[in-house]
Structure 1
Amino acid sequence: MKTITSETLARVEDLLKALGEVRYRSLFGGYSLTIDKAAFGMLVEGELFLRANEQSAAYFTQRNSSKLKFTRRGRAVYLNYYQVDSELWNDPDLLV
């Protein structure tokens, strides 16, 4: 795991420790994040992407947040995960 990704993972674990143990596994060139077997995010190249539901997707869309993209067979595939920006990082209650 790259240093920047390890640092971001430590930050995520610290913010979300009240919800349970954050686990990770390699997936799509990044790391899938789970708590109690529920997937909630991805870490890709040191960036956190959160899985969106209808409410949070509206929030992220309004903020023009980037969706998680990976390439499969030469084509871009966008997942329902949105990048956490600095403003959201700075509001731990909203992030949780």
Structure 2
Amino acid sequence: MPTPTDPFTDLCVELLSPLGPVRTRAMFGGRGFYVDGLFMALIADGQFFLKADDTTRERFIAAGCVPFSFATKDGERVVLGYYRAPEEALESPPLMLPWARLAFEAALRAANAKVKKTSAAAGAKRAARSAPSKPTAKKPAAKKKAAARRG
């Protein structure tokens, strides 16, 4: 049975739908948005945020978008790589599309970076397992046991 959603979540799904089927999931008191299995947006505190990275961050900043942040229990402010969508982009899917593409591309780059990192680590493990082992010198006790068996 589908999870009930609110009108703002439904609007955000509609805005992202030109990218493909959108799946949402409740998380941390808000909602996460996935396209093609990639986490690319979220709703928190009634605001819609899109994923950004080093390649796209400046575009969001230039448009006056503020980053998603929250306070920890210790009172420290944590800023994540998500920026509030421009107000005008919330008006229609065509206006959201360029911003949604930026977020999707950032999510894709993040996923590819994880795969490369995981693949590199797995490759290093395989190389270590398949590397020829160094011959070990026999210990004197082993030589004595071998001599005792022979003679």
TM-score bracket, normalised by the shorter chain, equals: 0.7 to 0.9
Cα RMSD, aligned residues only: 2.0
Q: Distance in 2 between matches of 1:68 and 1:42?
A: 9
Gaps of 5+ in 2: 101-151
Q: Which residue of 1 aligns with 2:86?
A: 85
Gaps of 5+ in 1: none
SS in 2 for 1:12: helix
Segments ≥4 residues shifted beyond 3 Å: none
| TM-score, reference length from structure 1 | 0.77
Q: Distance in 2 between matches of 1:41 and 1:10?
A: 13
Count of matched residue pairs: 92
Structure 1 or 2: larger helix share? 2
- The letter of the residue matching 1:24 is T
What's the offset of the Cα at 1:86?
1.2
- The letter of the residue matching 2:98 is L
What's the offset of the Cα at 1:65?
1.6
Q: Distance in 2 between matches of 1:87 and 1:19?
A: 18
What's the offset of the Cα at 1:66?
1.2
Aligned-residue identity in percent? 25
Is the contact between residue 33 and residue 41 of structure 2 (CA under 8 Å) also seen in structure 1? Answer: yes
Structure 1 or 2: larger strand share? 1
Structure exhibiting the larger radius of gyration computed from Cα positions? 2
**1:14/1:59 Cα in 2 relative to 1: closer, same or farther (>3 Å)?**
same
Q: Distance in 2 between matches of 1:11 and 1:47?
A: 12
- The letter of the residue matching 2:97 is D
What's the offset of the Cα at 1:88?
2.6
